[in-house]
Amino acid sequence: MMTEEDILYQNGDYWIRRVQGKRSAYYEVIHDTITHGEVCIIIGEGPGPNLGIERAKAECDKKAGSE
């Protein structure tokens, strides 16, 4: 079950959460619709610190700005 604390970053109707997969973690950029959230983009953590979350934030801002 997801909670509001799972939201790492939000811009308008787009937000980010971190998911721990079997092999590695990744970030999902999610678009809120009227009835549910829809995953738009999945971004891996990357080889360095904070690369994945920074890329996810950039994509989130880009999507929110294009509406």
> What does the pLDDT look like over 11-50, one tens digit per residue?
999 999 999 989 889 999 999 999 999 999 999 998 888 9
Question: What tokens were used for 2?
Answer: 């997801």
Q: Among 28, 23, 25, 24, which Cα is nearest to 55's?
A: 28
Q: Can you tell me the mean pLDDT for 37-64?
A: 93
User: Quick one: which H or E segment has residue 20?
Assistant: strand 14-20
Question: 2 pLDDT exceeds 90?
Answer: no
Predicted local confidence at residue 49, as pLDDT: 85
pTM (whole model) above 0.75: yes
Contacts of 27 (CB under 8 A, 6+ apart): 8, 16, 17, 18, 19, 42, 43, 44, 45, 52, 53, 55, 56
